[in-house]
Amino acid sequence: MAVFNMLENVEDLYEIGEVLGSGHFGQVREVRERATGARWAGKFLKIRKCASSRLGMERKNVEREVEVLQALQHPNIMALKDVFESRAEVVLVLELISGGELFDFIAEKENLTESDAIDFMKQILLGVGFMHNKQIGHFDLKPENIMLSDKMAPNPDIKIIDFGLAHCLQSGEEYRCMSGTPQYISPEVINYEPLSTAVDILSGLSPFQGDTDEETLRNIIALNYKFDDHHFSMTSAMAKDFIQKLFVKDQNERMTAEECLHHPWIKPLTRKQVANRNRSSINMKTFKKFNAKRKWKMSYNMVWMCNRLHRLKLLCKTSAQAGEELRPCESDQEDTETKPASLIRRRLSNSS
Ligand code: ATP
């Protein structure tokens, strides 16, 4: 079992600041190192106190997230500085990423050429390629997890975050996992097949969005998508070719991150290819619409999660009153004082 810093209290070394974001198991807050004044992000994770509890994160999953982050030191991957542990929570001290989500940054623009988009894409591929070379899959790549270090910089740096589902694949191991976010998961996850790092190549993209999550999942399994003129009239043939080579059902046939970096759309070989890229642009009207829908869905999910937790707590109360064998545990008790939305991990949703 990994041992984190239990001797010192995070608050003795860091001043805890404002909330930057919330995840399923806790909050991310800005923290200031008392000794140097440097700013970091603290990810406060509630730990499950007993096996029967549904609240909090299993300690072994926190250990896995920490091990993965320790193995990944790359300019396009969020860095881990320190880990603290107390009775009820683990705190990861992380590189502070203050530029917000890449998609929000792009959605504010009036226009974006394919060349601009490729600059970002390259950085994502470099980060993803680095982890895949270490046999680590992220398994939850989606717009929310692609952030910018500083959006005011002339060429902002991409930072990949949230390694809560990441897994280091051992040779000979068959790894299956039914987690992800409906719009962004790949067919092999839905089909509960053995997974490889290729999952990350087909995730994070969402032309498969249906009216319900079930329809979205059906579209992904069938790889049901089309380049309709309405949305893709300004897209270069090279970009479409690139996308087609990602939307491949067989994991072994799908382009790897390394191969993506050598595709002529990312790395043009001729002047004509460069010119084509510069002439083509992203359809901003469609992009803004997609981003607004994504944000709306995130808020909807948050409300759905709050309601579910509320019902769960009422159920626990009623069962306990009826004398059923629902053993309360410490983290359940403590959690009643915390924000409900941060407590349940909801990966595969069933609402849209
Ligand atoms: P999820 O429930 O989506 O899996 P999680 O519990 O694993 O989330 P994260 O996704 O890592 O938590 O973080 C939650 C939010 O906190 C992010 O969406 C982001 O807005 C913010 N955040 C996370 N890490 C950082 C960071 N290093 N710097 C700034 N903000 C961050």
The Å distance, Cα 140 to ligand 1 centre, comes to 12
| CA of 100, closest atom in ligand 1 | 20
Encoding tokens for residue 169? 């694949």
- Taking only the tens place, the pLDDT of each residue in 42-64 is 999 998 887 777 778 888 999 99
| Higher-pLDDT residue of 189, 90 | 90
**Residue 104, ligand 1, Cβ within 6 A:** no
43 annotated binding-site participant: yes
Query: What is residue 163's three-state secondary structure?
Result: coil
Q: Is the pLDDT of residue 309 over 90?
A: no
Residue 279 corresponds to which amino acid? R
List Cβ neighbours of 168 (8 Å cut-off, separation of 6 or more).
Answer: 67, 68, 71, 134, 135, 136
The predicted pLDDT at position 350 comes to: 28
Please compute the mean of the pLDDT values over residues 324-342 and round it to a whole number. Answer: 35
**Residue 346, ligand 1, Cβ within 6 A:** no
Q: What backbone phi and psi angles, to 5 degrees, belong to 351?
A: -135, 165
**Is residue 312 within 8 Å of residue 332, measured between CB atoms?**
no
**Residue 162, ligand 1, Cβ within 6 A:** yes
| Higher-pLDDT residue of 206, 119 | 119
User: Confidence band (pLDDT; 50, 70, 90) for 116?
Assistant: confident
Q: Is the pLDDT of residue 261 over 60?
A: yes
CA nearest neighbour of 66 among 76, 54, 57 = 57
Q: Is the pLDDT of residue 40 over 90?
A: yes
The Å distance, Cα 57 to ligand 1 centre, comes to 15
Q: Is the pLDDT of residue 184 over 70?
A: yes
Active site residue 162: no
| CA of 101, closest atom in ligand 1 | 20
**Residue 25, ligand 1, Cβ within 6 A:** yes
The Å distance, Cα 210 to ligand 1 centre, comes to 26
**Residue 94, ligand 1, Cβ within 6 A:** yes
Within the chain, strands assigned E span: 14-22, 26-33, 39-46, 80-85, 89-95, 136-137, 146-148, 158-160, 167-168
| Higher-pLDDT residue of 308, 141 | 141
